[in-house]
A and B are shown apart, each in its own frame.
Chain A
Amino acid sequence: MKKSCLPLLAVFMAFLLPAAVFAAGASDTAAVAGAGNELKMRIAVNPETLDPTLVYTGDVNFITKMLFVNLCDFNEETSLPTPDLAKTWNVSADGKVWTFNLRNDIKWTNGRSVTARDVEYSMKRILDPATASPLGYMLYPVKNAKAVNKGELKDIGAVGIKVIDDWTIQFTLENPMGFFPTALRSVAFAAPKEAIEQYGLKWFEPANIVSNGPYLLKEWKQNDRLVFEKNPAYYDAKNVQIDKVTVFVVTDDSTAMAMYEAGQLDTVNVPSGDIDRVMKDPVLSKQSKNVGQLISFQIQINVKAPPMDNPNVRKAFAAAIDKEALVKYIAKGGQVAMDTVVPLGAFGAVPKSAKIGIPYNPAAAKEYLAKAGYPDGKGLPPVEFNFNTSEFNRSVAEALQQMWKNNLGVDVGAKNFEGKVYWDIIVSGKLQFWRMGFNADYPDADGFLYGIGHTKNGEKNLRWERTDFDALVERAQAEADPEVRKKLYMEAEKILVQDECAVIPLWSYAYVAVTKPTLQRTYSALMADTIKNWKVVK
């Protein structure tokens, strides 16, 4: 009898065991119908950390903003800085010394006041090479910051950050920078020294965390969810509308969309595969909103790699792309097709009326190619387009292949590389042209053009040598007069995308979000939503 029992027993156990465990463990699915408003949303990755001096993933920014105050907040319409921890700020005549005056009524959750020393501590922690913070480079405009971070200067005190008194902090820069507060966007948080020293890298766990923002971290189930509750001691608590926020960790976009439709999420970004369906649905389409983002989707070219070393070849490839069709049929998110690099919401962007750049023109494309010596693509050496692995990028690449084949008669190969190697391969100079999504750390043309194009201090992947471009962006960086800056950037773009055609802009990002009618939310163009401004309406 023993023998026959064994298999049956196995079946029995495998069946009952999970059921029993579930029944025992089934706990938290019933939503705690507590008092007050509640918001359920989603994040696509498990936050790597909640330490504001270490957080690097863009997706997590909105959580940092819920927990910590920054020197400046941002007006989501104009992308200009507004007071938060800092009440006022001013700059010296030579443009190099910035002084921030702080509020004195913001308190940490352990009762202590937030002072200028906390800001100083936080920034020096970022710059300390031993911390190995990914944010270090954002403070490089500050005097000696780069040298300290690289380990060349051992004394952290040499950095140009000075605490004048509890409520005043002063920064001395290497060079004048008209938009310094904007550049501080992601690094001017205050960090609690005592908590970090006591708990080390676990200081931001719910049991240990000391924060000063509009919300408190109540719970964090790794890879599952984070739960926040309104901080009654926040200095502006009376304007914070939503009492409880649950952020679910959901990696898969389609799953998140399904959760929204089943009522488990209050707002979500619509994956591109579902956009058609949402727009056709009478209910969903009313809940949808198109949000622009200050990220440029572009093709960068290595101007030293044949046949891309011939400007007419580059222009031919540029003119052969029907960007409107790409946006309409492939990207579908209401992206804005662009012939220039800087997205329209950032300062210094070139208006479409200026007609800079190489527009779609199949006839001109053929002419350029013929002028280059390859009429109808005959004799053109093999060309390969590269992109980093993602379904979306793949679909764009396939559409581009089609367009180049139809309009130029050229068979372009396409190969994808995964994220970790992509950057290294680009830097190595082995590619001809590739797809790049470029977002600046702050909403100013400087963040885009300087980085992409400066021949010595930028990314240098274009491998071009237009030093006149350098002169333009350097002047624009130091310049204070906004009108002058705009003109300088217009000239710079003309060199970049028209004369040299070293970059082919395709569009500036946008996404479609759907939101339940009970939620009134704001939409950030910079991937950093401000939850404290959201409201739940009945």
Chain B
Amino acid sequence: MVNYIIRRILWMIPTLLVITFISFVLMHAIPGGPFAGPELKHMPPEVIENLNKYYHLDDPLWKQYVDYLWNLLHGDLGPSYAERGRTVNDIIAQSLPTSALLGLAALAVAMTIGIPLGMLAALKRNTIFDYLGMFVAISGVSVPAMTLGPLLVWIFALNLRILPVAQWGSLKQAILPAFTLGFGSAAILARLTRASMLQVLREDYIRTARAKGLSEGRVTVHHAMRNALIPVVTVIGPLFAALITGSMVVEQIFAIPGMGKFFITSVLGRNYPVIMGTVLLYAVFLIFANLAVDIMYARLDPRIRYS
């Protein structure tokens, strides 16, 4: 097992290398540079030349790539073109914790809503609970955050006035964004839990338990649930990663200073170091999340053995 983990981690290095290469090529293939000015003012060519020189953008492309990798090895992710004096390291250090917290909060919402909902739907299969539950759950995936967010703000913050409109810092301020972000994942978890639970309930060992005379409750909770949760738990890692990457809309709507906004703004602003930095960061996340999933699968299901 340990060998397996080490090998996976070692594989991360060439994977990330290829990812930096693909990103670099793609980024520079896109026309436009970081210094075509914002809408109302445009920069004269002399100024653009100076700026390009300042950021070494006039170096040949291969040199820029090599320089980037060299700096990367030293832990330097480069400057941000859009903000003088701030480096990508600064940006990540300041905004990642916020996004991570938001992701965790959304995950909490998703789990506390989704899992019980799925269980209930499975236990009361083909009844009104099942259909209603699944309907609600699927609506979660279908209502995009861009609409759900403002809708919730309207209802809870502006009309009922029980929650703040935007921003980040207190528990109250976290509720609406966490819900907006987590609702979609709640739906995914609900369906997965339901399917898994249904699968488990059909298994032979459940029938055995019942035949042994155990009460329905004990059968459900003790045997069915914990086995049903296995595939669900495995999905939490990637789900968390997806939540962090998917937070950009929510962060914009609720004015939360997280990493999400850097995604789009850095691509649109051709802020190359930030683009590379975010891609790398999320790739690392995804890889670790997948690794965690595989490890958990192995721990929970004794039939699986890695060498």
Please determine if A and B sit in direct contact within the complex, based on CB atoms under 8 angstroms apart.
Answer: yes
Say whether chain B's binding surface is mostly helix, strand, loop, or mixed. helix
Q: Is B62 an interface residue (CB 8 A)?
A: no
Chain A residues 199-238 with CB under 8 Å of chain B are 200-202, 221-224
Would you call A255 and B169 a contact (CB within 8 A)? no
Q: Is A388 an interface residue (CB 8 A)?
A: yes
Would you call A6 and B300 a contact (CB within 8 A)? yes
Would you call B46 and A150 a contact (CB within 8 A)? yes
Would you call B166 and A250 a contact (CB within 8 A)? yes
Question: A245-275, CB under 8 A of B: which get 1 and which 0?
Answer: 0001111101110110110100000000000
Q: Is B174 an interface residue (CB 8 A)?
A: yes
Given the complex of chains A and B, what is the CA–CA distance between A131 and B31 in angstroms? 25
Given the complex of chains A and B, what is the CA–CA distance between A47 and B85 in angstroms? 11
A-contacting 9-mer, from B122-130, B199-207, B249-257, B283-291: B249-257
Given the complex of chains A and B, what is the CA–CA distance between A233 and B157 in angstroms? 41
Q: Is B32 an interface residue (CB 8 A)?
A: yes
Given the complex of chains A and B, what is the CA–CA distance between A27 and B167 in angstroms? 13
Q: Among B86, B255, B268, point to the contact of A420 (Cβ < 8 A).
A: B268
Chain B residues 246-286 with CB under 8 Å of chain A are 252-255, 257, 261, 268-270
Chain B residues 87-117 with CB under 8 Å of chain A are 90-91, 94-95, 101, 104-105, 107-108, 111-112, 115
Question: B27-51, CB under 8 A of A: which get 1 and which 0?
Answer: 0000111111111111110110111
Q: Among B39, B91, B233, point to the contact of A388 (Cβ < 8 A).
A: B39
Q: Is B186 an interface residue (CB 8 A)?
A: no
A-contacting 9-mer, from B5-13, B17-25, B69-77, B224-232: B224-232
Q: Among A137, A251, A258, A264, point to the contact of B252 (Cβ < 8 A).
A: A251
Which residues from chain B contact A11 at a C-beta distance below 8 Å?
Answer: 111-112, 115
Name the interface size band of chain A: 35 or more
B-contacting 9-mer, from A116-124, A345-353, A421-429, A472-480: A421-429
Which residues from chain A contact B171 at a C-beta distance below 8 Å?
Answer: 19, 22-23, 26
Interface residue total, chain B, C-beta cutoff 8 A: 77
Q: Is B195 an interface residue (CB 8 A)?
A: no
Would you call A248 and B101 a contact (CB within 8 A)? no
Between A23, A29, A261, the greatest number of chain B beta carbons within 10 A of the residue's beta carbon is seen for A29
B-contacting 9-mer, from A50-58, A160-168, A175-183, A306-314: A50-58
Q: Is B161 an interface residue (CB 8 A)?
A: yes
Q: Is A17 an interface residue (CB 8 A)?
A: yes
Q: Is B216 an interface residue (CB 8 A)?
A: no
Q: Is A21 an interface residue (CB 8 A)?
A: yes
Q: Is B82 an interface residue (CB 8 A)?
A: yes
Between A27, A46, A295, A388, the greatest number of chain B beta carbons within 10 A of the residue's beta carbon is seen for A46
Q: Is A34 an interface residue (CB 8 A)?
A: no
Given the complex of chains A and B, what is the CA–CA distance between A221 and B95 in angstroms? 11
Q: Is B170 an interface residue (CB 8 A)?
A: yes
Q: Is B63 an interface residue (CB 8 A)?
A: no
Could you tell me the distance in whole angstroms from the C-beta of A61 to the nearest C-beta in chain B? 11
B83 — nearest CB in chain A belongs to which residue?
Answer: A48
Would you call A49 and B47 a contact (CB within 8 A)? no
Question: A404-417, CB under 8 A of B: which get 1 and which 0?
Answer: 00000000000000
Given the complex of chains A and B, what is the CA–CA distance between A509 and B26 in angstroms? 37
Q: Among B34, B46, B154, B269, point to the contact of A137 (Cβ < 8 A).
A: B46
Which residues from chain A contact B236 at a C-beta distance below 8 Å?
Answer: 10, 14
Which residues from chain A contact B230 at a C-beta distance below 8 Å?
Answer: 7
Q: Is A144 an interface residue (CB 8 A)?
A: no
Q: Is A386 an interface residue (CB 8 A)?
A: no
Would you call B170 and A26 a contact (CB within 8 A)? yes
Chain A residues 146-177 with CB under 8 Å of chain B are 146, 149-150
Given the complex of chains A and B, what is the CA–CA distance between A422 and B42 in angstroms? 10
Would you call B254 and A255 a contact (CB within 8 A)? yes
Would you call B39 and A437 a contact (CB within 8 A)? yes
Would you call B32 and A421 a contact (CB within 8 A)? yes
Would you call A248 and B167 a contact (CB within 8 A)? yes
Question: A425-465, CB under 8 A of B: which get 1 and which 0?
Answer: 00000000000011101000000000000000001000000
Could you tell me the distance in whole angstroms from the C-beta of A262 to the nearest C-beta in chain B? 4
Knowing A14-B104, A18-B105, A262-B164 are in contact, say whether A27-B169 is a contact too (CB < 8 A). Answer: yes
Would you call A136 and B167 a contact (CB within 8 A)? no
Could you tell me the distance in whole angstroms from the C-beta of A425 to the nearest C-beta in chain B? 8
Would you call A424 and B54 a contact (CB within 8 A)? no
Given the complex of chains A and B, what is the CA–CA distance between A350 and B32 in angstroms? 36
Given the complex of chains A and B, what is the CA–CA distance between A418 and B34 in angstroms? 12
Q: Is A28 an interface residue (CB 8 A)?
A: yes
Q: Among A137, A258, A295, A437, point to the contact of B166 (Cβ < 8 A).
A: A258
| 27 pairs of residues in contact across A and B, judged by CB atoms under 8 Å | A14-B108, A18-B104, A23-B171, A25-B169, A29-B172, A48-B82, A48-B83, A58-B38, A132-B51, A132-B53, A132-B55, A134-B43, A136-B50, A137-B44, A223-B95, A249-B257, A258-B150, A259-B167, A262-B161, A390-B39, A418-B268, A421-B31, A424-B32, A424-B36, A438-B40, A439-B40, A441-B41
8 tightest Cβ-Cβ pairs between the two chains A and B:
A201-B85, A223-B257, A420-B32, A132-B54, A4-B226, A7-B229, A421-B32, A49-B84
Residues on B close to A: CB < 8 A? 31-44, 46-47, 49-51, 53-55, 82-86, 90-91, 94-95, 101, 104-105, 107-108, 111-112, 115, 150, 153-154, 157-158, 161, 164-174, 178, 222, 225-226, 229-230, 232-233, 236, 252-255, 257, 261, 268-270, 296, 299-300
Q: Give 11 A-B pairs besides A222-B257, A255-B252 with Cβ atoms closer than 8 angstroms.
A: A18-B174, A22-B170, A58-B41, A137-B43, A201-B85, A222-B94, A252-B255, A258-B154, A258-B166, A418-B268, A419-B38
